[in-house]
Structure 1
Amino acid sequence: MSVAEQASTVVMGHVAGTDPAMLRSYMESGLGGFILMGANIPATEGELQSLTTALTVDPELPPLIAVDQEGGIVSRLHGDDYPASSSLKHLPVAETTSAFTARGSLVGRAGITVNFGTVADVTADPGTFIYGRALGTDPASAADRVSAATTAQEQFVASTLKHFPGHGAAPGDSHHVIPSTTMGLDQWRETEAVPFAAGIDAGASLLMYGHLAYTAVDASPASLSAKWHEIAREELGFDGVAVTDDLGMLLSSGDPAYADPVANGVSAIAAGNDLVLMIAGSDASTAGAMAAGIATAVEKGTLPAERLEEAATRVVALRLELAAAAAPWAVCDDCTPAG
């Protein structure tokens, strides 16, 4: 791959709409992935399958097609009536396995290959915005359910743990601010880290970095922190694709340090992310501009060429792995859903 091609493959873009021709045209620039949001989901599963097929310009190297299908509070797809975190945290672990087996099947059947669906954050405080989405109220119970959800989904899709290093310790909604905590590494290892470690051990393909500042570790948000990427790789043994949470959330924080989306994308790759995600505040040109900015940074020497090559290699490896593992799905109109 050329530098420009590498830069494109580490960007996951988004535009609204359900027109397969328009979305295919958008993906012809060579982006490595596309995230489906609510405005991309048509009325029927057959239409959704046609849409995801259209996103694949090169069948030998299909893009990563992602969705946030946690179930419950965060749910994009029709037909996901399976138990979600709000109830699973109080039920036996086997219920998490059943729910995420069904959920992973639903996602995979639609032609979606990546689910940003496993919330590994842990909190016992029902007043926090992440409480209803967390799979456990203490590290051990969260770890058991995160592990179960990961194992269940990886049969069908590449599953993702989020929001590393853990939203529970950092109060505030990262869609609007950059939540922070003074928690140190020793306490983190005993608490917030536990569910992430369990999900990594269970084989999660991706790890999503949150816009969370653990100031005792690094003043920067984890999504832009080389230190947190080092911890995930060296301490927790994560060897999959590191992906940012939506970089548009940094724009929404109002912090002038993060007002330039292209600069944010370059900083994210430099910090150790392999895939940058941009949704909020973006348009049809944003992902391409981010890819061009990443390539320019390499050409100017402000982003090491080997860092981009490492990121692109991980993303392409996952794309090829998912292409090789893809199983044919057929919609059964007269089947009775499993109860």
Structure 2
Amino acid sequence: MIEKDRFIQNKENFAIFSVVSLLLMTLLSGWIVFDKMESPAVDSGLTQKQRTINQMMEGMTIEDKIGQLFLGHIPEQEAEQIVGAYYLGGYMLESKDVEGKSLSQLKKDLASYQKASNIPLLLASNEEGGAVSQISPILKEPFASPMELYDEGGLDAVLEGAKSKVSVLKDLGISAGFFPIADVVTNPSSPIYERTLGQDAMTTSDYVREVVTLLKEENFLSTLKHFPGSSETGDAITGLVYDDRPVDELRKQDFLPFEAGIEAGTDSVMVSHIILTAVSDQPSSISPEVMAILRQELGFEGVILTDDFDKLGLSEFLDQNEAALQAIEAGADMILSSNFTSQIPYLLDQVKRGKLSEDRIEQSVERILGMKYDLGLIK
């Protein structure tokens, strides 16, 4: 009887053990399946673009990262050495880089600069057309300005001209031409009138939207400039320019083409050195308040470029090194400058002193690398 009871008890224990084991195995297998299902979901949440950028950034030093923030004017004789030594994000052509060369020689030179860089360069040239073109002097047919093209054949002619221009630039290895100009200027006495479309805000908005769309199709950088718009009264090349208009007036006119370009997916926006007195007492290129309008009010998420730091308007306001620091702190991503040989070490020193965070730098580097990825420069 006792043996029978023990047998029954053992049988019951075994049954309980089997049930518990089965439950544990079920839970465990479920957890394993769940884990296997979850892991790819986490990974698949990152695009190939983001994985590539993350991998690149993991291998970058702080020197690499700071160098990416600069689009430099570089002495031609030292271009290859400087590109490699300062880890520059981009190379900005000037007329002296083109003078006396054939297109084939220029293409060869640009390829050598690209080869000297560990991270692909953004090769850029200011190619608005008309009076502002570095390449036109060595072309059989110089690039016409948007105003000239619009007067000849309306928006269709402008788009045809832009497409033809992009073809020439891309063949040279250039990925950025710093257009379209989004400034609303209808006053012929304005210093930049002939560089613009010369039309009202709505027509200029249509122009900007169509050009940005075209450039995206052509895989060529689009750059809206010069945010927050032109005052029509001065040019920061020759000195400081103040715009005393209320912000509401800008919202109803000057901001409209920028909004159109942003909605169309522009890659970048160039911020000028104009002082918008209703918003800030600083040049826009180093103003957190102006950058906030661009980011938060207009919703721009791409790369913010500064206008050329070599312009007198900024130079007479602030030391170049400190201006570079303030531009990055304000929210700019990329600085156009010929003084990067002192600005880069200055920013590096600010990081080491704890006055500029590496996190802030990485925000910009991620946008810059993302832009280069979208242009096909980074694979």
Which deviations, in whole Å up to 9, do the C-alpha atoms of 1:209-242 show, x marking residues without a partner?
0011110011111101111111111222211110
- Greater Cα offset, 189-198 or 51-60: 51-60
2:314 and 2:306 mapped to 1: Cα distance?
18
| 1:300 maps to amino acid | R
Say which of 79, 82, 95 aligns to 1:38: 95
Say which of 206, 209, 220 aligns to 1:157: 220
Deviation at 1:24, TM superposition (A): 1.2
Alignment of 1:9-88 (within 5 A): 9-17=68-76, 22-29=78-85, 30-41=87-98, 42-57=100-115, 61-77=119-135, 78-79=138-139, 80-88=141-149
1:71 and 1:257 mapped to 2: Cα distance?
30
Deviation at 1:89, TM superposition (A): 4.2
| 1:234 maps to amino acid | Q
**Residue 182 (structure 2) pairs with residue 144 (structure 1):** no
Q: Which residue of 2 aligns with 1:7?
A: 66
Greater than 4 Å deviation, 4+ residue runs: none
Deviation at 1:60, TM superposition (A): 7.0
Aligned CA distance change for structure 1 residues 76 and 254 (closer, same or farther; 3 Å): closer
Deviation at 1:108, TM superposition (A): 1.1
Partner of 1:56, secondary structure, is helix
Aligned CA distance change for structure 1 residues 137 and 58 (closer, same or farther; 3 Å): same
Say which of 264, 267, 270 aligns to 1:202: 264
Q: Which residue of 1 aligns with 2:47?
A: none
1:212 and 1:133 mapped to 2: Cα distance?
17
Partners of 1:274 and 1:312 within 8 A in 2: yes
| 1:40 maps to amino acid | D
1:7 and 1:263 mapped to 2: Cα distance?
15
Partners of 2:147 and 2:198 within 8 A in 1: no
Deviation at 1:205, TM superposition (A): 1.0
Aligned CA distance change for structure 1 residues 278 and 94 (closer, same or farther; 3 Å): same
- Greater Cα offset, 141-150 or 53-62: 53-62
Partners of 1:61 and 1:319 within 8 A in 2: no
1:181 and 1:60 mapped to 2: Cα distance?
42
Partners of 1:210 and 1:221 within 8 A in 2: yes
| 1:66 maps to amino acid | A
Taking structure 2 as the reference length, the TM-score comes to 0.78
Q: Which residue of 1 aligns with 2:181?
A: 119
Q: Which residue of 1 aligns with 2:348?
A: 295
Partner of 1:208, secondary structure, is strand
Deviation at 1:32, TM superposition (A): 0.9
Q: How many residues align?
A: 313
Partner of 1:307, secondary structure, is helix
Which deviations, in whole Å up to 9, do the C-alpha atoms of 1:273-321 show, x marking residues without a partner?
1001114xxxxxx312211111211222222332111111111222233
Aligned CA distance change for structure 1 residues 256 and 307 (closer, same or farther; 3 Å): same
Deviation at 1:16, TM superposition (A): 3.5
**Residue 196 (structure 2) pairs with residue 134 (structure 1):** yes
1:289 and 1:148 mapped to 2: Cα distance?
39
Partners of 2:187 and 2:232 within 8 A in 1: no
Partners of 1:104 and 1:156 within 8 A in 2: no
Partners of 1:229 and 1:272 within 8 A in 2: yes
Q: Which residue of 1 aligns with 2:359?
A: 306
Identity, in percent, stands at 27
Q: Which residue of 1 aligns with 2:313?
A: 253
Aligned CA distance change for structure 1 residues 39 and 26 (closer, same or farther; 3 Å): same
1:182 and 1:264 mapped to 2: Cα distance?
23
- Greater Cα offset, 54-63 or 199-208: 54-63
Deviation at 1:59, TM superposition (A): 7.1
1:113 and 1:206 mapped to 2: Cα distance?
13
1:325 and 1:102 mapped to 2: Cα distance?
24
1:179 and 1:253 mapped to 2: Cα distance?
7
Aligned CA distance change for structure 1 residues 292 and 255 (closer, same or farther; 3 Å): closer
Partner of 2:352, secondary structure, is helix
Deviation at 1:149, TM superposition (A): 2.1
Partners of 2:351 and 2:357 within 8 A in 1: yes
**Structure in which a larger fraction of residues adopt helix:** 2
1:307 and 1:151 mapped to 2: Cα distance?
30
**Unaligned 5+ residue runs, structure 1?**
280-285, 327-339
Aligned CA distance change for structure 1 residues 89 and 182 (closer, same or farther; 3 Å): farther
Deviation at 1:61, TM superposition (A): 2.9
- Greater Cα offset, 63-72 or 316-325: 316-325
Alignment of 1:213-292 (within 5 A): 213-249=275-311, 252-253=312-313, 256-258=316-318, 260-279=319-338, 286-292=339-345
Q: Provide the alpha-carbon RMSD of the alignment.
A: 2.0
